[in-house]
Amino acid sequence: MDPKTLIDPAAGVFYFLFLAMSLAGVGIFVWRLRGKWLLLRRAAPEDRFNRWGERIRATLVHVVAQARILRDPATGLMHAFIFWGFCVLAIHTASLFLGTWIPGLDFERRLGAAYAWPKDLFIVLVALAVLWAVFRRAVLRPARVESSGEAYLVLGLILLLMLTDMGAEAALHAAGVPTYGFLGAALGSLVAGWSRTGLQALYAGSFWIQAATILCFLNILPGSKHFHVITSLPNVFFRKLEPAGRLRTLNLEDENAESFGVAKAQELDWKVLLDVYSCTECGRCHEHCPTHTTDKPLSPKRMNDHLKEFVYKHEQALTGASTGEVPDLFTAGAVGEDEIWACTTCGFCEDACPLFIEEVQWIVDFRRYKTLTESHFPEELTKAFRGLETNSNPWGIGAHKRAEWAAGLGVPTVGEAESFEWLFFVGCSGSFDERNRKVAQAFARLLQKAGVSFAILGEAEGCCGDAARRTGNEYLFQTLAQANIEIFKEAGVRKIVTACPHGFNTLKHEYPQFGGEFEVWHHSQLLEKLVLEGKLKPSRKLDLDVAFHDSCYLGRYNGIYDAPRNVMAGIAGVKVSELALHHRQGFCCGGGGGRIFMEESLGSRINHRRIEQVRDSGCSTVALACPFCNTMLSDAVKEKELEGVAVRDIAEILLEAVE
């Protein structure tokens, strides 16, 4: 028996109404989509049409298998069941519309039990996932999720889709129509005693409500946060495949460029717009964002919201459909100066985002506009830029003092060494900052004890340029990077080791953008290797309770979590504990992105928040592997008067154990 016999009393009217409703629903959807598509077409170019194999693999892992979403199993499974349910139910939806217009296209009935069982299973799972989502939003209220009527509306529509499907299955089964799956048999008994008219009404009601709900749902998508239902797949497919810590190069030679960086919506490239469309407003990105959680104006989620609001508001003018003026993003308040300068570029937001939205690059592009085009940036940066320009370090200290830290240690420069395997790139903090000079000394002594052949550049070393690049001064960064690359090449450098994760990231990932291809290691990696090979024997027992603090540029950006922990764990008597926020969720010290050179006058201090987390761990020592983290946390210890907490680099602790 054809299921439509249950709703067939006026077939002609039925088909006409259904066709009209479907065409209207799909037509409005396409019309609404058109504006968004035109915006993408007119956006600035960005080349992501490469490395297809990697893109397909990433899409399978992060869209189909929902890998990032499932990092948090409780909410991840809920979302994954709804997503997988939608994929399975796509055949049902196609059958509902196409099969009604053209009977031969009723795939669902043709597949029979092979489709009915998984479909029924996902109807139940999706319904349970929706109920859990409502409970979570209404009762558990996780801090990162903001209350939204749209979310409840969409959850309600999804639940309605599942319930109407259950209703239709029950009516069909009770009317004697084969239903193949288990839902019809299970629910059909509930309506078994109904008259044929009652069953017809149940089926027809379920059918019409379901079709109308699907069309409503479709039309809610464009312009809402649920647009990600459509855009998340392409957004993940076109994600950045470059190393996470590599920023885009700016072509400073472009003679046609009227400005550098981004200040206008027209200057946003199509991938930024796709990011903006795709944001689900889930709030994962600001859960441990150091600026948002210390009450500063920047929240990556809100920056996304404001950009979305702006481009949708000016969609007509941006697509050329109207002639209105489009103000620049700063003037319109879509992007705030306090926001862009607050960012530590810690990368938590990008790593947490299930859709790989790339806020750090946007923020640096906004900073580039302010720094390069307007020459307008926080006052404190003036001194740092001048120091970098004149003496290649942010404090402007004379180059002759660069190697003072090594006095009496017998560390050769590349000119003095007969040959060397490793260049120890000391970096500005290790060279000039009193606290971090001790770390450079400890590391050099460890290398000597292990018999490693190494040399330093001494006066010839220049700043790596990390802070210049991340504060938007791309011109200065490129000058510094090119100078260092030239010096490395002249000195015959092949392998570089540095104790600074910022230098490590820049040398490893950004220097290749300018022809500087070297093998770059972080000191934690080399120390781990030397201990494993028995070249360093930490035989002295230390009695230390150590909490390890992950540097963002070592952990999140470069995935180096184990090496520094292994160095600590190899020392007898050292007990290594984890802070409440560690590994991927490691909380920034507040010094990245050039923030170490700026005042922190808004909200509470990020380094104070981190040192409070150290204090709460009960450990007497916080071990780290980054000079900026060392400075920021040492300052926090003094300012919070937590003298019982020692801030030490892993090289210093290892040296104590080796000696």
Is residue 565 close enough to count as binding ligand SF4 by CB under 6 A? Answer: no
Instruction: Please report how close the Cβ of residue 303 comes to ligand SF4 at its closest, in angstroms.
Output: 7
Q: What counts of helices (H) and strands (E) characterise the chain?
A: 26, 8
Q: What phi and psi values does residue 113 have, to the nearest 5 degrees? A: -65, -30
Instruction: Please report how close the Cβ of residue 624 comes to ligand SF4 at its closest, in angstroms.
Output: 18
Separation in Å, CA 309 to CA 154, 304, 374 = 20, 9, 25
Token pair of 327 as six digits: 């103000």
Q: What phi and psi values does residue 424 have, to the nearest 5 degrees? A: -85, 105
Token pair of 339 as six digits: 């926001």
| Closer to ligand SF4 by Cβ: residue 359 or 461 | 359
Distance of CA 231 to the CA centre of its chain: 17
Q: How many angstroms separate the CA atoms of 69 and 46, rounded?
A: 27
Q: What phi and psi values does residue 547 have, to the nearest 5 degrees? A: -105, 135
Write down the H helix ranges in 221-371: 228-237, 270-278, 300-313, 315-318, 337-342, 348-352, 359-368
Q: Which of 348, 362, 366, 488 binds ligand SF4 (CB under 6 A)?
A: 348
Q: Which of 352, 520, 546, 636 binds ligand SF4 (CB under 6 A)?
A: 352
Is residue 280 close enough to count as binding ligand SF4 by CB under 6 A? Answer: yes
Q: Which of 126, 289, 388, 626 binds ligand SF4 (CB under 6 A)?
A: 289
Handedness of CA 253, 259, 261, 267 (dihedral sign): negative
User: Could you write out the DSSP letters of every residue in 504-534?
Assistant: HHIIIIIGGGGT---EEEEHHHHHHHHHHTT
Q: Which stretch binds ligand SF4 (CB under 6 A): 23-31, 42-50, 345-353, 541-549?
A: 345-353
Q: Which stretch binds ligand SF4 (CB under 6 A): 67-75, 343-351, 383-391, 636-644?
A: 343-351
Asked whether 145 and 137 are in contact (CB, 8 A), the reply is yes
Q: Which of 344, 431, 558, 630 binds ligand SF4 (CB under 6 A)?
A: 344
Instruction: Please report how close the Cβ of residue 597 comes to ligand SF4 at its closest, in angstroms.
Output: 16
Asked whether 423 and 488 are in contact (CB, 8 A), the reply is yes
Tell me the one-letter amino acid at 464: C
Instruction: Please report how close the Cβ of residue 236 comes to ligand SF4 at its closest, in angstroms.
Output: 11
| Closer to ligand SF4 by Cβ: residue 55 or 71 | 71
Tell me the one-letter amino acid at 540: R
Size of the site for ligand SF4 (CB under 6 A): 27
Q: Which of 106, 120, 359, 433 binds ligand SF4 (CB under 6 A)?
A: 359
Is residue 200 close enough to count as binding ligand SF4 by CB under 6 A? Answer: no
Is residue 505 close enough to count as binding ligand SF4 by CB under 6 A? Answer: no
Q: Which stretch binds ligand SF4 (CB under 6 A): 63-71, 96-104, 347-355, 579-587?
A: 347-355
Instruction: Please report how close the Cβ of residue 391 comes to ligand SF4 at its closest, in angstroms.
Output: 29
Is residue 272 close enough to count as binding ligand SF4 by CB under 6 A? Answer: no
Sheet-wide strand order for 544-548: 574-578, 544-548, 621-624, 646-649
Q: How many angstroms separate the CA atoms of 384 and 482, rounded?
A: 19
| Closer to ligand SF4 by Cβ: residue 202 or 244 | 244
| Closer to ligand SF4 by Cβ: residue 344 or 436 | 344
Q: Which stretch binds ligand SF4 (CB under 6 A): 30-38, 93-101, 348-356, 528-536?
A: 348-356
Instruction: Please report how close the Cβ of residue 547 comes to ligand SF4 at its closest, in angstroms.
Output: 21
Q: How many angstroms separate the CA atoms of 83 and 550, rounded?
A: 34
Is residue 284 close enough to count as binding ligand SF4 by CB under 6 A? Answer: yes
Instruction: Please report how close the Cβ of residue 498 comes to ligand SF4 at its closest, in angstroms.
Output: 22
End-to-end CA distance of the chain: 87
Q: How many angstroms separate the CA atoms of 343 and 631, rounded?
A: 18
Q: Which of 66, 213, 219, 345 binds ligand SF4 (CB under 6 A)?
A: 345
Q: Which stretch binds ligand SF4 (CB under 6 A): 349-357, 377-385, 440-448, 538-546?
A: 349-357
Q: What phi and psi values does residue 636 have, to the nearest 5 degrees? A: -65, -40
Q: Which stretch binds ligand SF4 (CB under 6 A): 12-20, 186-194, 325-333, 351-359?
A: 351-359
Instruction: Please report how close the Cβ of residue 609 comes to ligand SF4 at its closest, in angstroms.
Output: 12
Tell me the one-letter amino acid at 278: S
Asked whether 40 and 275 are in contact (CB, 8 A), the reply is no
Asked whether 184 and 203 are in contact (CB, 8 A), the reply is no
Instruction: Please report how close the Cβ of residue 525 comes to ligand SF4 at its closest, in angstroms.
Output: 24
Q: Which of 106, 108, 169, 281 binds ligand SF4 (CB under 6 A)?
A: 281
Is residue 245 close enough to count as binding ligand SF4 by CB under 6 A? Answer: no
Instruction: Please report how close the Cβ of residue 122 comes to ligand SF4 at its closest, in angstroms.
Output: 24
Mention every residue, 6+ apart, whose C-beta is less than 8 A from residue 635: 607
- Phi-psi map region of 467: left, alpha, beta (phi>0 left; psi -120 to 50 alpha): alpha
Within 300-339, the residues that bind ligand SF4 by CB under 6 A are: 300-301, 304
Q: Which stretch binds ligand SF4 (CB under 6 A): 245-253, 340-348, 406-414, 516-524?
A: 340-348
Is residue 282 close enough to count as binding ligand SF4 by CB under 6 A? Answer: yes
Give the three-class secondary structure for 374.
coil
Is residue 343 close enough to count as binding ligand SF4 by CB under 6 A? Answer: yes
Q: Give 373's DSSP letter.
A: I
Is residue 586 close enough to count as binding ligand SF4 by CB under 6 A? Answer: no
Instruction: Please report how close the Cβ of residue 585 comes to ligand SF4 at its closest, in angstroms.
Output: 11
Q: How many angstroms separate the CA atoms of 497 and 454, rounded?
A: 9
Paired with 575 in beta bridges are 545
Is residue 4 close enough to count as binding ligand SF4 by CB under 6 A? Answer: no
Token pair of 519 as six digits: 């093998």
Is residue 353 close enough to count as binding ligand SF4 by CB under 6 A? Answer: yes
Is residue 346 close enough to count as binding ligand SF4 by CB under 6 A? Answer: yes
Token pair of 608 as six digits: 């104070």
Is residue 236 close enough to count as binding ligand SF4 by CB under 6 A? Answer: no
Q: How many angstroms separate the CA atoms of 342 and 296, rounded?
A: 7
Instruction: Please report how close the Cβ of residue 195 comes to ligand SF4 at its closest, in angstroms.
Output: 50
Is residue 167 close enough to count as binding ligand SF4 by CB under 6 A? Answer: no
Spell out where 116-163 has E strands: none
Instruction: Please report how close the Cβ of residue 299 comes to ligand SF4 at its closest, in angstroms.
Output: 7
Asked whether 245 and 347 are in contact (CB, 8 A), the reply is yes
Q: What phi and psi values does residue 621 have, to the nearest 5 degrees? A: -130, 135
Instruction: Please report how close the Cβ of residue 551 comes to ligand SF4 at its closest, in angstroms.
Output: 13
Instruction: Please report how close the Cβ of residue 344 comes to ligand SF4 at its closest, in angstroms.
Output: 4
Q: Which residues bind ligand SF4 (CB under 6 A)?
A: 279-285, 289-291, 298, 300-301, 304, 343-349, 352-353, 355, 357, 359-360
